[in-house]
A and B are shown apart, each in its own frame.
Chain A
Amino acid sequence: MLYAFLVLILLQLVGEAMREALGLPVPGMILGLLMLLGLLVWRGRRLGEQHAVPGELDAVARGLHAHLGLLFVPAGAGVLAQAEVLAVQGTAILAAVVLSAAVTLGVAARLALGAGERPGRLPLPADATAAEEVRQ
C-alpha cells in the first residue's frame, strides 16, 4: 500500500512537471499513466513475467477503481455551484449534450467492435440486462 501509493503519486508529480516544462496539452495524471505502463512493460520483459503486476500495486489499483465514481462526487457537487451558467440557453445545452453523447456512444461502440464482428455475439453484461428487463 505504502510503496504503491508512493509510486502513483511520484509518477503523477513527474507527469505534472513534464506537462509544465514541455507545454503539453495532456494532464499530468495521463502522462503518469503512460510512464507507469512503460515501467510495467519494461519490468515484465526484464523478469520474463509477461503481464504480471506487483501484488501491492495491483491491490491499490483495484481498490481505487472499485469505487472510482466516489471520487467524482466532490467535483460534481462543486459544479452545481456554477449551475447558474445554465440559466441562459440551459435547455439547448442539455439537449445538445445528451443527444451528442448518444450519437458518439453509438458510433464509437459500433466502430470499436471491428468490421468483421457482428453485434450481440456475447451475452449482455448485468447492467445492460437489467435495462433490457425494464423495457420488456
Chain B
Amino acid sequence: MTAFADIAAAAEVWMASHRPLAAIGLTLLGYAVGHAAWQRSGRHPLLNPTLSGILLVAVALMLLGGDYVRYFEDAEALHLLLGPAVVALAVPLYRHLPALRARAAALILALGVGSVVAVVSVLAIGAALGATMPTLLSLAPKSATAAVSMAVAAETGGIPPLTAVVTIMTGIATALLAGPLLALLRITDPIARGFAMGLTGHGIATARAFQEGEATGTASGLAMGLNAVLTAVLVPLVLRSWAA
C-alpha cells in the first residue's frame, strides 16, 4: 500500500512536468484502442472509436485521479486542430460540388425540414417527458455544432454548460444510430446518409460519416455547416412562436 502510494506520488511529480504530452498521449492511446476494436469487430457501428476514446480517457482519469478540466486544458492542442480540419472540409466539398449541385433541391428541402424537426422534436419529446423550461431551452439547438448551440442557448435563456453536454450526446447518439437506422430505412445513397448525419449530429457524426467514405463525409460536413447557420436563425423563431 505504501509502496503503491510512493509510486503514485513519484508518478505525480513526473506527470506534473509532462502533463500536456501525457494528456495527448492518453487521448491518442484511448482513440487507437477504440479504433482497433472497431476494425476488429468488422466495423461494428456501436463500437464508435470516438465514444470508446472518450470512455477510455474518462476511466483512465478516474483511476489516475486526474480531473477533466485540467485534462482538457492539457489536451487542447488536439482540440484546436478541429478548426483547420473544418476549414479543410472545403477540399472534398470542392471535389464533390457537381454531385451535390445536382441534388441541390432535395438537399435544401432536407436541410429546411430536418432543421425544424431537430428543434421541434426535442422540444416536444422533452416537454412530454416533463423537462422544465430552462432544460428545454438548453436542448433546442443541440443538433448544431457546439460553438453555435452554446451561443444560441446563452442568447435564448438556456444553460450553456448543459447545452454543451447535450450537444456532445446528440453527436454520439447520431453516430451510433446512423448505421442501424439508415439500414432499416434502406437508405444506401452516400450523399443522403452523410447529409442526414451531419445535419443531426454535427462534427462527431461527420467523423462517423467519413468512416463510410469521402462522399458520405463530405455531405455530412456540408450539412453540419448549413445547419449551424440555420439553427442560429431558427431556434429563436421557433421558441418565440412556441411560447406564444
Contacts and interface: CB of A to CB of B under 8 A. Distances in A.
Interface of A: 5, 8-9, 11-12, 15, 25-30, 32-37, 40-41, 44, 51, 53, 57-58, 60-61, 64-83, 85-86, 88-89, 91-115, 117, 119-135
Contact of A25 (B27, B31, B151): B151
Given A64-B84, A108-B200, A93 B135 contact: yes
Query: Interface on chain A toward B: helix, strand, loop, or mixed SS?
Result: helix
28 contacts: A8-B84, A9-B84, A26-B228, A29-B86, A40-B91, A65-B217, A69-B50, A71-B82, A72-B50, A74-B71, A76-B53, A77-B27, A77-B58, A78-B69, A93-B135, A95-B129, A96-B122, A96-B126, A100-B122, A103-B121, A105-B174, A107-B113, A108-B117, A110-B187, A117-B189, A122-B189, A128-B182, A133-B42
Contacts of B187: 109-110, 113, 119-120
B211 to A, nearest CB: 6
A104 B188 contact: no
A96 B129 CA distance: 8
How would you classify the secondary structure of chain B's contact residues: helix, strand, loop or mixed?
helix
B199 A104 contact: yes
Interface of B: 23, 27-28, 30-31, 35, 41-45, 48-51, 53-54, 57-58, 61, 67-69, 71-72, 75-76, 78-79, 81-95, 97-98, 103, 105-107, 109-111, 113-114, 117-118, 121-122, 125-126, 129-132, 135, 139, 142-143, 145-148, 151-152, 159, 161-162, 164-166, 168-174, 177-183, 185-193, 195-197, 199-201, 203-204, 206-208, 210-214, 216-217, 219, 221, 223, 225, 228-229, 232-233
